Structure 1
Amino acid sequence: MGQTYSIFGAGPGGLYTAWRLLSSGKLQSSDTLNLYEWGTYDFTGEGKERQPAGRICTHHYIDDDSATYIEIGGMRFIEWDGTNTPTAKGHRLVTKTVNDVGLGPDVVNFLTVDDPLYFLRGQHFYQSDLVDNGGDVIAPYNTPGVNEASPDDLYSHISDLITGTTPLKDRTEQCAFYASGTLPSTFNSFVYNPGDVASNVGYWNVFYDQAGNEGFSYAADGGGYSSNVINWNAANAAVYNGEFAPGGAFKTINGGYSRLFVELYNKACEAAANSGARFSLHQGERLHSIWMYGDAIKFKLATADDPFSPSSGDAMDTDLAFLAMPPNAVDIVAQATRFENVPGRTDFLNNAQVANYLGSVIEQPSYKIAMFFEEPWWENTTYPPRLEATLNHQKTTENVFGPTITDLPLRQVYYFGDNALPNEEGEAIYGLLASYDDMRYITFWRGLELAVDERRDQAINRDFQPLEGGREGSPQMEQMLRLELAKLHYGDPDAANEIPMPKSTIFMDWGLNPFGAGYHAWAANYDITDVMQKIRSPAQLAGVADAKVFLIGSAFSNDQAWVEGAFCTAESVLVDYLQMDPLIDLSVYPPICGTRCG
């Protein structure tokens, strides 16, 4: 008799798991795989629903998948060159998957500028203008010496203070530091001592301790990401923050990152047809509640039309369950499960140890606003972005996106330009990611979502916009964006009328349910290597031996905020618990810390 596999969530982790199960030969003709998704993704290219999947969402102008687009979710990955050594750089599972599904020829650069424009505390300057780079500008922060260099230098300095001067060259060394690394003997502090466990230190705390309030503010403002300087796990933060320096070698998919997840779904369907396994996608249905009854997995569903009420009928059964969802969505399921009156069950999601480990990550809301124009007006302003990067020791202007960084609510601006596919007909449209904000100004932009003559007709916690895709901004949102862009690029708010009216303005609020965040960070005072290992099997963590309920996704990974993190947690489950052959050599690339793979 065949087995039933149930995957809850058709985001990156869920689609990857479905594709791997079906294409690896693990599932046979007697097996069934059900993939449930609360939202409705456009896997067919009809343009009627939002693009897949999860926190990846390519938005095309007028919903034409050949037209100019902007990424209003995750944008990019770091390509792996195939070198099979522990120190090779890049996202190995994403790179391998992109090639395996046939998108390798469509990989293009997503370059960041060599010389970003900053507008901080009312002062414009390019990175090359700073004293350390041969210029005469000092950033407007009271941090003598530090303010003569870019904020990235400050991040690197704080990382060195935390980790010591010996670089953590590969994932194994990094994981060891996360588990038991200590502040080095050279660490000088009134608050902390050499030998203190680094993972028990808050990053904001230690940053303030070492750089003061002005140094912290320079890093928070000039780094572009407020989320990078919150009070997260200092051991993890010290390693992670180096990835965001300008000049990073990023890649994306021509036509939009969402194409990867369309292809994952298509390849899963093809593999199911070849194997004879029954594969069904159930969109508009979500996991309502789940528990163990003895060694049996029991669950109830709910519909998108009535997401908080379980569907009628008895609880359903499955042999294996994969919760491919972020912590906020898991918490929604846990809340409902708590009130299911089933004597003798094991409510594993509400187990004290499971709840503690689910709380080991910090939710980081993010907000993106895309604007589409008839012309690239930013090229002819007082302070234009210098869209030039170095690639293979040569300067290029092709596929260079930004960012420009400011302490205005815009925070970061990326210039997508006219990236329509060659077969697109009609007028050229130029895309501008006018605001990429995380955490700091979320409520500022939320206050501009509705027009001044509108009343809110639903509670914020019942607004599931991330499942639906981008929404048109209000006239007031457009005016506020033009006002801030005028300050940023003209240095004059009165120049707002120099910025043309956009053809369309689209916003995405990732802080809303069910996602609750754009990305996540590890909290301090946890051994995150132990969490990564044990939270993958929450029912086993709650004491149900051999329970086949698994939690996957980027939140509890080595690569938070990246698709690679979702793929890695899924791969670790498939290899460690289902004994599948790994997609790549995991002996030199542990997908998560402490993995048994390899």
Structure 2
Amino acid sequence: MSDSILDVAIIGAGVSGVYSGWRLLTQGVSRTVTIFEASDRVGGRLLSVTAPGVPACAKAELGGMRILPAVQPRIKQLLEELNQGVSPEQRIETYDFPVDDPANIAFLRGIHLRLEDFTSRPDRVPYHLSFLEHGQSPGNIVVNAIEQLVPGITHTNLNEYQRREMARNASFAGKPLYEQGFWQVLVRVISGEAYHLALDAGGYQSTLNNWNAADAIPWYLSDFGINPDYKGFKKGFQQVPLTLAQRFQEAGGELKLNTHVTGFEWKDGVAEVHFKDAPSVRARTLVLAMPRRALDLITGGSPMLQAPEVSQLVQSVTPQPLFKLFTTYTAPWWLPAGVEKGRTTTDLPVRQTYYWPDSSGQPVKNGSAMLMASYDDGLNIGFWDSFRPKRGLGWRREAQGIARPEVFKGRRERQGLADEVDPEWLKHHAPQAMVAEVQRQLGVIHGLSYVPDVEEAAFMDWGDDPFGGGWNSWNIGVKSWEVSERIIQPVDGVSVYICGEAYSDAQGWVEGALQTADRMLLKLGLIPSVKEGLKSPH
């Protein structure tokens, strides 16, 4: 162990980690700051890779893929700040990210629908809806249900903070919303068939699952309910943390990749941080910029995290499993099915398919093209267990010796041209059997008897260690507004801090990572990038 003591050690080079490091070195007093990252890359759950052979397509987003600038002020302001005074090549530029188009397909209960059919041809919808639900889109059914649960919350003149305030103060059927699950309250105001329609046609299982209703309601309205305007990234979302890491290093910070933390101890006002294959370091301040599962993995070597009051805070959220599979083709074969942009949803296990745009957000109509062939979450991913490696192994000891399924090797790799492929793409081989089954389901949902062979494929499961899930959701019964403040510095008087998307108001979004980082930095004397809105109840 070195005798020198760092001012700040940050564990994790995801967005919250590199953002915190950059702010610490460019605001306030002079500090020595080092970021330690277990993997060989910067970005956390942002992973943008170049798909081989599809030059017209935007980068494949194996991780997070979009933002909502209208309701996410921190990421909006951060992009403006990072773009100041830089060359055109260094700018972080966005495009309008297509999601739902009237011509998009919803293949539900064996019936092919267009999205416009929900309102224009409701008799074709194969669900036994009530007369009030008949003729509404699945999203509108949920939004109208939310208005019944919290009257007034869907008014368009409200901001995000006001909606959260309303939901956190609200009760339903005589019980506070935070003590109830989202699924639990939805089925009190809509039919069971309407709930299943929203679940099936919405494409996600975890968002309508039984997580804390007081948090789920404003979260749902932000993401799906109040005219969402998504933006994607022309050079990939990972450009954001990569730029932050570069600025951090230019400001004098040190970034150490492949440095696997195993735990820490707090002794005499200093954190002693231990690593798997490197000497321990000491720091006056320790920032754990880590999701719930990553914190679990170091708890055995961290007495502070084992304390019941801290453990309770850490366990107040649940990681939600999620994976993505990208496939490329010699042509956009889906055009004859009448779709060219946005996504198709289905109740088949493939769940969501996105027609991947070019870097300006426009559909690819000629030449090589790409799909996010499956975007799957929650319980749905259980279908794929026999097609893919066992879920959740990651760094666990039991991963040793387990047979791995045959992987799909793309055309270039088969031809010995792997050196022409983005190395990051090659790290994420998709299982051969999984690609074949996805192909079969793609033919069914598009009504086509023939689907061309896959050229290249990449797969990322965020349920594996150290992430544990693609995002985290607040547990039922948790007062998130209290936990999110307390977990920032879980032990009074001890300079150990926790930040990241998991314990934020915007779970699953980079905005949440920035929010908790700003709250942590405020405790270290830095002014937040965006002023918080209305105070939450206490």
**Cross-structure match for 1:547:** 494
1:58 maps to what in 2? 48
CA contact (8 A) 1:369 1:505 kept: yes
Instruction: Indicate how the Cα distance of structure 1 residues 594 and 548 shifts in structure 2: closer, same or farther if over 3 A, else same.
Output: farther
The count of aligned residue pairs is 496
For structure 2, the 5+ residue unaligned runs are 84-89, 391-395, 405-422
Q: 1:582 to 1:417 in 2, by over 3 A?
A: closer
- The aligned counterpart of 1:471 is 428
The answer to whether the aligner puts 1:181 opposite 2:174 as a matched pair is no
**Does the residue aligned with 1:441 lie in a helix, a strand or coil?**
helix
Provide the rounded CA distance (Å) in 2 between the counterparts of 1:201 and 1:350. 28
Q: Does 1:385 align with 2:355?
A: no
- Look up the equivalent residue of 1:372 and give its one-letter code: T
Alpha-carbon distance change, 292 to 473 in structure 1, aligned in 2, over 3 angstroms: same
Matched with 1:485 is 442
Deviation at 1:96, TM superposition (A): 1.4
C-alpha displacement of 1:108: 1.5
Measured in 2, the distance between the counterparts of 1:302 and 1:420 equals 43
Alignment check: 8 A CA contact 2:269 2:494 kept: yes
Q: 1:524 aligns with which of 447, 469, 476?
A: 476
Q: 2:415 — aligned with what?
A: none
Partner of 1:10: 13
Q: Select which of 417, 420, 443 maps to 2:382.
A: 443
- Give the counterpart letter for 1:500 in structure 2: P
Note if 1:412 corresponds to 2:366. no
Query: 1:155-304 counterparts in 2 under 5 A?
Result: 155-167=142-154, 169-183=158-172, 193=173, 195-245=174-224, 248-272=228-252, 279-303=253-277
Aligned mates of 2:460, 2:499 — CA distance in 1: 24
In the alignment, which of 105, 124, 138 is matched to residue 112 of structure 2?
A: 124
Cα shift readout 1:413-462 (whole Å, capped 9, x = no counterpart): 111145499xxxxx9531100000111232333422369xxxxx984599
| C-alpha contact 1:203 1:229 (8 A) present in aligned 2 | yes
Change (3 A) 1:67 1:163: closer
Q: CA deviation at 1:147?
A: 4.5
| 3-state SS, counterpart of residue 527 of structure 2 | coil
Q: Is the 8 A contact 1:68 1:431 kept in 2?
A: no
Aligned Cα root-mean-square deviation (Å): 3.0
Letter aligned with residue 566 of structure 1: A
Deviation at 1:478, TM superposition (A): 2.1
Letter in 2 for 1:226: Q
2:106 and 2:113 in contact (8 A); partners too: yes
From 69, 72, 79, the counterpart of 1:98:
79
Q: Of 514, 524, 545, which aligns to 2:466?
A: 514
Shift of 1:207: 2.1
| Residue identity matched to 2:368 | I
Residue 419 of structure 2 is matched in structure 1 by none
Equivalent in the alignment of 1:85 = none
Aligned mate of 1:334, from 289, 299, 309: 299
Query: Residue type of the partner of 2:106?
Result: Y
Find the aligned partners of 1:270 and 1:332 in 2 and give their Cα distance.
31
Q: 1:507 to 1:325 in 2, by over 3 A?
A: same
Match of 2:452 in 1: 500
Aligned residue in 2 for 1:144: 130
**Structure 1 residues 219-228 or 436-445, which shifts more?**
436-445
Measured in 2, the distance between the counterparts of 1:560 and 1:286 equals 25
Distance 1:461 1:114, change over 3 A: farther
Contiguous gaps of at least 5 residues in structure 1: 42-51, 80-88, 184-192, 273-278, 304-310, 338-346, 388-401, 422-426, 452-456, 541-545
Q: Residues 434 and 460 of structure 1: is their aligned pair in 2 closer, same or farther, counting only changes over 3 Å?
A: farther
Is structure 2 residue 298 aligned with structure 1 residue 351?
no
Q: Distance in 1 between matches of 2:57 and 2:316?
A: 41
- Equivalent residue of 1:228, what SS? coil
- For 1:286 and 1:66, how far apart are their aligned partners in 2? 37
Q: 1:60 to 1:27 in 2, by over 3 A?
A: farther
Distance in 2 between residues matched to 1:99 and 1:228, nearest whole Å: 30
1:113 and 1:386 in contact (8 A); partners too: no
Give, in whole Å, the separation in 2 of the partners of 1:444 and 1:284: 33
Distance across 2 between alignment mates of 1:438 and 1:159: 23
Q: Deviations over 1:112-142 (max 9, x none)?
A: 2331320111111112112xx2324342122
Aligned to 2:393: none
Contact 2:92–2:240 at 8 Å: present in 1 too? Answer: no
1:373 equivalenced with 2:329 (yes/no):
yes
1:579 pairs with one of 502, 508, 525: 525
Which residue of the partner structure matches residue 369 of structure 2? Answer: 430
Q: 1:450·1:473 contact (CA, 8 Å) conserved in 2?
A: no
Q: SS of the counterpart of 1:76?
A: coil
Deviations 1:1-26 (A, max 9, x none): 985210000001101111111222x3
How far off is 1:359 after superposition? 1.6
Q: Give the partner amino acid of 1:489.
A: H
Identify if the C-alpha distance between structure 1 residues 181 and 136 changes in structure 2 by more than 3 Å, giving closer, same or farther.
Answer: closer
How far does the alpha carbon of each residue in 1:290-345 deviate from its partner, in whole angstroms, 9 at most, with x for none? 23224332221124xxxxxxx5x6x53211111001000001111233xxxxxxxx
Contact kept, 8 Å, 1:255 with 1:420, in 2: the verdict is: no
Q: 1:349 and 1:458, CA in 2 relative to 1: closer, same or farther beyond 3 A? A: closer
SS of structure 1 residue aligned to 2:171: coil
Q: Give me the TM-score of the superposition, normalised by structure 2.
A: 0.85
Question: Aligned equivalents of 1:58 and 1:150: distance in 2?
Answer: 32
8 Å contact from structure 1 (residues 321, 548) kept in 2: yes
Are the aligned partners of 1:118 and 1:404 in contact in 2 as well (CA < 8 Å)? yes
Q: Which moved more, 1:230-239 or 1:319-328?
A: 230-239
Shift in CA distance, 284/105, structure 1 to aligned 2, threshold 3 Å: closer
Letter in 2 for 1:448: F
Letter paired with 2:294: A
Is this contact kept in 1: 2:105–2:345, CA < 8 A?
Answer: yes
Partner of 1:543: none
Q: Which amino acid aligns with 2:527?
A: D
Distance 1:481 1:489 in 2: 12
| 1:111 aligned onto 2:98 | yes
* DSSP-derived class of the 1:112 partner: coil
- Cα distance change on mapping 1:468 and 1:510 into 2, 3 Å: farther
Tell me, what secondary structure is at the counterpart of 2:251?
A: helix
Aligned to 1:344: none
Q: Within 2, Cα distance between the matches of 1:414 and 1:504?
A: 16
Shift of 1:289: 0.8
The offset of 1:243, in angstroms, is 3.1
CA distance in 2, matches of 1:124, 1:552: 44
Q: Shift of the alpha carbon at 1:539?
A: 2.6
Alpha-carbon separation, structure 2, partners of 1:373 and 1:525: 47
Distance 1:587 1:512 in 2: 33
* TM-score of the two chains, using structure 1 as the length reference: 0.77
Supply the AA of the counterpart residue of 2:315.
Answer: G
Contact 2:130 2:191 (C-alpha < 8 Å) held by counterparts:
no
Contact 1:253 1:260 in 2 (8 A): no
Deviation track 1:20-43 (CA, whole Å, cap 9, x = no partner) reads 11222x352xx32110001011xx
Distance 1:358 1:292 in 2: 18
Shift of 1:67: 7.0
Deviations 1:532-590 (A, max 9, x none): 100111232xxxxx211110001100100000100110011112x11112323x05477
Query: In 2 relative to 1, CA 266–524 (structure 1 residues): closer, same or farther, beyond 3 Å?
Result: same
Q: Is the 8 A contact 2:203 2:346 kept in 1?
A: yes
Letter in 1 for 2:309: Q
